[in-house]
Structure 1
């Protein structure tokens, strides 16, 4: 299904609510004000790449809330039509190629001029489309990820965008299906208390771990504003700006937490009551607006 001498590209017909190019990010630049960015659900992106013989860090499309439509243009250098494979992972949603349903979590053959369309996810928020050989827009600071906060990397995808596809670098793995559980309806995230949990009274700390919270419509790759009980500070002094990390649960003066995700700011001036365990960050990246969230304490120190 592939050829070594060919020209392939993906044409964006519709990006849906938001579609961006993502890989596993650009760590090491926070001292210059640039977060690592990368896929909000890196586990799903890595799986999509493995299913079609790409390195895990290969750039793919992150589609938010479905609606993505793309067309493949793929021809041998002599002008004859060619073909390739794609894979879809992450938030499960209806998907069709030329109107015929296709399944997630396995390789999907795609021929020249074929059109893929995604519906709205039934669970979760972000679906990943990887193509054999990977997307190759120009890199920025060593990554092809779109960072919405800093503006680093490719612009969010628009109708008419054409994304070049690289040549395959390894054989197909021969896997037909990699079954995965869908994202839950209620999300439970493990968190490390602190570093500023001492800025809150005991009742607020107990509330953080016992209340049911809800993601609001103010949700994007930067973070999620969360609705629920008001967390009460015991200090009213100003906090100097300090470093932020993905998963930081920051509490502004209104007492309503904000959960920072992959395009988070690198510093912040409000106290962070807790930080999501790094292994739960891919799950946090799938929280849709309206979903219920619970936080559970994880007391082992980070490694």
Structure 2
């Protein structure tokens, strides 16, 4: 059992999501940075889809009620166990009663805590993830939340620490133009100059502000009939500030999608914090 003693910015339980429910109006949700959650699970010997904790920026404090094996990946939040600094993206062995504290990451946006056996709460529609848009799944963590862990898997991790890339000052994000790029006077403007991540970015999407380059201007002020939108869709409201859809995105929308970010770059974009500079790179390959 893990007991949450403090929460800073929002922290939620996440696994790899609940695909397959679009026809019921439910999106997949799941970890915003899927690679970071997979790495945390691999470090502690879990299947990659096991549920862990997604922490925005840091500030989480937890106490173990029994021995636990954990790992913290993603945004490199400084961590201590009973006040002693410990490494990032490495295997940590906690005794009963020990306290793990995450400080605030200086780069990146989301850290992930994996625990051997996974967070063992009841799944909803096949997933233990919290969807911030629909409210489906376990509620965000708060002081006093108790999280059971599952039985440890048989396979023990064979690595003590995993290298993780840093987060660059300028993120290069690959995007495939369309399907509604013909709604813009100059769709190439998306790929010209730079964008910065706005203050209101969340698990639903990252809103971008123009940092240098021409604006995105629509040919018409009319709206599309509602249509499906995918993870990574770059949707442009009438104001011209694009929103890149992330893990908890709506499954339909009426604004034109000028491009779609490649799946390979979604995890990197999920780590973009407000003020982060973004440059889109055009690609023709999915």
Aligned-residue offset at 1:235: 2.1
1:212 aligns with 2:197: no
1:45 aligns with 2:30: no
**What is residue 240 of structure 1 aligned with on the other side?**
225
Correspondence 1:13-52 to 2 at 5 A? 13-52=5-44
Q: 1:62, 1:129 within 8 Å by CA — same for their partners in 2?
A: yes
Correspondence 1:1-303 to 2 at 5 A? 9-74=1-66, 83-202=67-186, 205-228=187-210, 229-300=214-285, 302=286
Gaps of 5+ in 1: 1-8, 75-82
Query: Where does structure 1 differ by over 6 angstroms across 4 or more consecutive aligned residues?
Result: none
Pairwise CA RMSD of aligned residues?
Answer: 0.9
Q: 1:123, 1:185 within 8 Å by CA — same for their partners in 2?
A: no
What whole-Å deviation, never above 9, does each CA across 1:173-217 have from its counterpart, x for those lacking one?
Answer: 221111111222221110000000000012xx2321112100011
Which piece of structure 1 moves more, 138-147 or 168-177?
168-177
CA distance in structure 2 between the partners assigned to 1:186 and 1:66 by the alignment: 22
Aligned-residue offset at 1:27: 0.3
**SS, match of residue 226 in structure 1:** strand
TM-score normalised to the size of structure 2? Answer: 0.97
Q: 1:124, 1:184 within 8 Å by CA — same for their partners in 2?
A: no
**SS, match of residue 116 in structure 1:** strand
Q: 2:204, 2:248 within 8 Å by CA — same for their partners in 1?
A: yes
Aligned-residue offset at 1:237: 2.1
Aligned-residue offset at 1:255: 0.8
Q: 1:230, 1:254 within 8 Å by CA — same for their partners in 2?
A: no
Structure number with bigger Rg: 1
Equivalent residue pairs, number: 283
CA distance in structure 2 between the partners assigned to 1:249 and 1:206 by the alignment: 13
Gaps of 5+ in 2: none
